[in-house]
Structure 1
Amino acid sequence: MTAVVFAVLLFLAVPISLVLALTALWYIYDSGNTVLLDSYLQQLFGAIQSYGLLAIPLFMLAGELMNEGGLTSRLVNLARILVGGFRGGMAYINLVANMMMAAIMGSAASQIAMMSRAMVPAMEKDGYEKPYAAAITAAGGLLSPIIPPSMLFVLFGVLAQVPIADMFIAGIIPGLVMSFLFFIAISLLGLRYEYPKGSWPTRQQAKHYFLMGIPAALIPLIIIGGILTGLATPTESAALASLGALVIGKYVYRDLKYKNLFGVLKRTAFNSGMVIMLIAAAGVFGWVIIFEKIPQSAASWIAAQTTDPFMFLMLVVGILLLVGMVIDGIAALILVVPILMPIAEAQFGISAYQFGVVVCLTLVLGLLTPPVGAGLYISSAMTGASPMAIFRALLPFLLATILTLVLISWEEGLVLALL
C-alpha cells in the first residue's frame, strides 16, 4: 500500500520532497508502529546534520555572484581565444565556457538556466538554429555533476561516507573524457550541417579578453586547487570562491552592485532551501526503505541476474536512466545509494568512487530526457525553443554521455587514476 501512496502522490505532481515525507508518514500509520512516529522528526533533521552539506548553498552562492558580477561573460570571452576560430566556433566556445562554469556551479539545472541566457542569443546571432544552440548549452550542463565541484558528489560523499574531496578528484578524468567526446560530436555535426566558421579574435582583442578573463578564471582555480592540494575542504573552497566572486565582481569588474545582493542571497536561499528540504525528506523515506528490507530484496534479485561487475554497472545504468526520467536526481540519489551501494561493494567489489561517478552521471541524464526532463523545460523556458526540438538536437551528446558511462564502467582506472 505504501508503494501505491507514493505512486499516486507522484502522479498528482505533488512536490517530490512532500511525496517522500508523506509516504514515510503513511508507512508509519499503516504499520501501526508508534515508536517510528516518535523518531520521525529525529530522522528528518538527522538527514541534514552533515558538515559536507554546507558546500551546497555556498557553491550556489558562488555561481549567483559570478553571474551577477560579470564573471561569466569574461569566461566566455576567454574561451574565444582558445577555440573561437574553428568551424562551429561558437559551439566550441559554448562548451569550453560550460566546462569552466562546471568547475564553479556544481548544479546542472542552475548552469543550464544561466548559460542559456548567456550563450543562445549569441549563437543565434552567428547563424545557428535555436534548438541546436539550446541543445549544446543544455549538454554543457551535463558536465556540472562530473567536473568538480558537484552537488551530487557532495551528497554522494555524505551518503556513502567517503571523502568529498576524493569524490571531486575522481570526477576529473571522466569529465575530461566526456568533454573530449562532446568536442568530437560538435566537429562531426559542424561538418555535416556546415556550421559557420568562427573567427579568431584580433591580437588586441585576445590581449583584452585574456587580461579581463584572468580574474574570473581564478575562481575555478581556487576551488579545484584548494581541494587537490589539501589546503581547503570542499566547503571551505566554496566559501573562498563566493568571497572571490564577490570581490572580483564588485571591485575588479565593477558590475556587481550592493543593491543587487539581496536578490542574489534570496535566490541562493530559495534554491538551496529546496535542496536541503528534499534531502531531509528523502532521509526519512530511506529509513522506510530499510525497515521494508528493500536493500536485501534488491541484492538477491541483482545477484541472480549477473556476477560480473561491468554488467552490474550496466544494469544499474539502465535502471537509473528510467528512474532519472521521472524522479529528481537528488531524490533518486538518496533513494538508490542505500539500496545499491552495499551490493556494489560487498558482492561485486566495485569502488565507491567508481560507483558514485557512474550513478551521479546517469541520474543527471534524466534532466534532459522525457517525460519529466526538467533541464529540457528550463532550456525551453530560457530560449523559446520547444522541448522536443531541443531533445532531438541533444541526441548526439546524450549518446556521447552514454559512451562515457560505458568507458568508466569498463575501466575503473579512468576514475581512480588520480586518487
Structure 2
Amino acid sequence: MTPLIFAFKLLIAVPVALVLALTAIWYIWESGNTVLYDSFAQKMFSGLENYGLLAIPLFMLTGEMMNEGGMTRRLINAARVFVGGFRGGLAYINLLTNMFMAAIIGSATAQIAVMARAMTPEMEKEGYDTGFAAATTAAGGLLAPVIPPSMMFVIFGVLAQVPIGDMFLAGILPGLMLATAFALVIFVIGVMTGFPKGSWFTGREAFSALLYCLPAALIPCAIIGGVLFGIATPTESAAIASLLAFLIGWLIYGELKPRTLFGMFRRTAVNASMIIFMIATANVFGWVIIYEALPQKLAALITSISSDPFLFLLIVNLILLFVGMLIDGIAAVILITPILLPIAMNDYDISPYQFGVVMCLNLVLGLLTPPVGVGLYIASSMSNVSPGRILRSLWPFLLAVAIILVLLSRFPLLSTALI
C-alpha cells in the first residue's frame, strides 16, 4: 500500500519533500509501530547535522553576488578573447562562458536563466537561429552539475557519506569531456549550416577584457584551488568565494551595492531552505527504505539479470533518464541515492564517485526533456522561443551527453583518475 500512496502523491504533483514526509508517516501508521512517531522530528533534524550542507546556501549566495556584481558580463568578454574570432565564435563564447559560470554557480537552472538572458539576444543579433542560440545556452547549463562546485555533488556526497572535495575532483574530467563534446557539436552544425564569422579583439581590447576579468576569475580559482590543494574544505571554499564575490562586486567593479544584500540573502535562504527541507524529509523516508528492504529486493532482481557492472549502469541510466523526466534532479538524487548506491557498491563493486557522476549528469538531462523540463521552459521564457523550437536544435547536444554517459559508465577511471 505504501508504494501506491507514494506514487499517487507524486502523480498529483505534491511537492517531493512532502511526499517523502507523508509517505513515512503513512508507513508508521500502517505498520502500527507508533513509537517511531516520538522520534520523527529528531530523525528529520539529524539528517541536517552535516557540515557539508552549509556549502549549498553559500554557493547559491556566490552566484547571486556574481550576477548582481556584473561579473557575468566580464566573463563573456574574456571568453571572446579566446574563441571570438572563429566561425561561429559567439556559440563557442556561449559554451566557454557556461564553463566559467559552472565553476561558480553550481546550479543548472540558475545558470540557464542567467546565460539565456545574456547570450541568446546577442547571438540572435549576429544572425544565429534563435532556437539554436537558446539550445546552446540550455545545453551549457548541463555543465553545472558536473564541473565543480556542484550542488548535486554536495548533496550526493552527504547522502553517500563520501568526501565532497573528492566528488568535486571526480567531476573535473567528465566536465571537460562534456564541454569538448559540445564544442564538436557546435563545429559540426557550423560546418553544415554556415555560422557567421566571428571577429577577434584587437590587442588592446583583449588585454583590457582579460585585465577586467582577472578579479572575477579569482572566484572559481578560490573554489577549485582550495579543494584541489587541500587548503580549504568545500564549505570553507564556498564561504571564501561568497566573500570574494561581494568584495569584488562592491569595491572593484562598483556594481554590487550593500543595500542589495538583504534581497540576495532572502532569495538564497528561500531557495536553499527548499533543498534542505527535502534532505531532512529524505532522512525520515529512509525508515521506509530500511524496513521494506528495498535495496536488497532491487539488488536481487537486477543481479538476476546480469552481474556485469557496465550493464548494471546502463540499466540504471535508463531508470534515471525516466525518473529525471518526471522529478527535479536534486529531489531525484535525494530519493534514489539510498536505494541504488548500496547495490552499486556492494553487489557490483562500483566506485561511489563513478556512480555519483553518472547519476548527477543523467538526472540533469530531465531539466531539458518534457514533460517537466524546467530548464527547457526557463530557456524558452528568457529567450522568447517556443520549447519545441529549442528541442529541435537541442537533440545533437542530448546525443553527445548520452555518448559521454556511456563512456563514463564503461570506464571508471574517467571519474576516479584525479582522486
Q: Deviations over 1:198-235 (max 9, x none)?
A: 11112221111011011111110010000000000000
Alignment correspondent of 2:240 = 240
Output the CA distance in 1 between the equivalents of 2:123 and 2:14.
Answer: 37
TM-aligned CA deviation for residue 39 of structure 1: 2.0
Structure 1 outlier segments of 4+, above 4 Å: none
Alignment correspondent of 2:204 = 204
Alignment correspondent of 1:350 = 350
Output the CA distance in 2 between the equivalents of 1:32 and 1:127.
Answer: 66
Q: Deviations over 1:147-184 (max 9, x none)?
A: 01111111111111111101100110111011100000
Output the CA distance in 2 between the equivalents of 1:48 and 1:389.
Answer: 42
Q: Which has the higher mean CA deviation after the structures are superposed, 282-291 or 317-326?
A: 282-291
Are 2:367 and 1:367 aligned? Answer: yes
Output the CA distance in 1 between the equivalents of 2:377 and 2:6.
Answer: 24
Output the CA distance in 1 between the equivalents of 2:368 and 2:10.
Answer: 19
Ranges in structure 1 where 5+ consecutive residues have no aligned partner:
none
What pairs up with 1:265-304 in 2 under 5 angstroms? 265-304=265-304
TM-aligned CA deviation for residue 388 of structure 1: 2.1
Aligned partner letter, 2:126? D
Output the CA distance in 1 between the equivalents of 2:143 and 2:163.
Answer: 21
TM-aligned CA deviation for residue 12 of structure 1: 2.0
Contact 1:286 1:334 in 2 (8 A): no
Output the CA distance in 1 between the equivalents of 2:177 and 2:70.
Answer: 29
Contact 2:278 2:334 in 1 (8 A): no
What RMSD over aligned residues (CA atoms) do the two structures have, in Å?
1.1
> Secondary structure at 1:142's aligned position in 2?
helix
Alignment correspondent of 1:390 = 390
Q: Deviations over 1:97-156 (max 9, x none)?
A: 000011111111111111111111111111122221111111111001110111111111
TM-aligned CA deviation for residue 372 of structure 1: 0.8
Q: Normalized against structure 2, the TM-score is what?
A: 0.98
Q: Normalized against structure 1, the TM-score is what?
A: 0.98
Output the CA distance in 1 between the equivalents of 2:412 and 2:246.
Answer: 39
TM-aligned CA deviation for residue 8 of structure 1: 2.3
Are 2:225 and 1:225 aligned? Answer: yes
Are 2:194 and 1:194 aligned? Answer: yes
Alignment correspondent of 1:148 = 148
Aligned partner letter, 1:209? A
Q: Deviations over 1:288-335 (max 9, x none)?
A: 122111111100011011111111111111110001111111121122
Aligned partner letter, 1:135? A
Q: Which has the higher mean CA deviation after the structures are superposed, 272-281 or 175-184?
A: 272-281
Q: Deviations over 1:263-303 (max 9, x none)?
A: 21111111111111111122222321221111111000110
Aligned partner letter, 1:363? L
TM-aligned CA deviation for residue 337 of structure 1: 1.3
TM-aligned CA deviation for residue 392 of structure 1: 2.1
Ranges in structure 2 where 5+ consecutive residues have no aligned partner:
none
Output the CA distance in 2 between the equivalents of 1:388 and 1:7.
Answer: 28
Identical residues among aligned pairs (%): 61
Alignment correspondent of 1:183 = 183
Q: Which has the higher mean CA deviation after the structures are superposed, 8-17 or 234-243?
A: 8-17
Contact 1:126 1:196 in 2 (8 A): yes
TM-aligned CA deviation for residue 18 of structure 1: 1.4
Are 2:145 and 1:163 aligned? Answer: no
What pairs up with 1:17-28 in 2 under 5 angstroms? 17-28=17-28
Contact 1:326 1:366 in 2 (8 A): yes
Contact 1:282 1:331 in 2 (8 A): no
Output the CA distance in 2 between the equivalents of 1:23 and 1:373.
Answer: 25
Aligned length in residues = 419
TM-aligned CA deviation for residue 377 of structure 1: 1.3
> Secondary structure at 1:85's aligned position in 2?
coil
Output the CA distance in 1 between the equivalents of 2:393 and 2:286.
Answer: 37
Aligned partner letter, 1:334? I
Contact 1:108 1:144 in 2 (8 A): yes
Alignment correspondent of 2:407 = 407
Alignment correspondent of 1:124 = 124
Aligned partner letter, 1:43? K
Q: Which has the higher mean CA deviation after the structures are superposed, 35-44 or 183-192?
A: 35-44
Alignment correspondent of 2:380 = 380
Output the CA distance in 2 between the equivalents of 1:242 and 1:417.
Answer: 29
Contact 1:286 1:335 in 2 (8 A): no
Q: Deviations over 1:343-363 (max 9, x none)?
A: 111111111111111111111
TM-aligned CA deviation for residue 11 of structure 1: 2.2
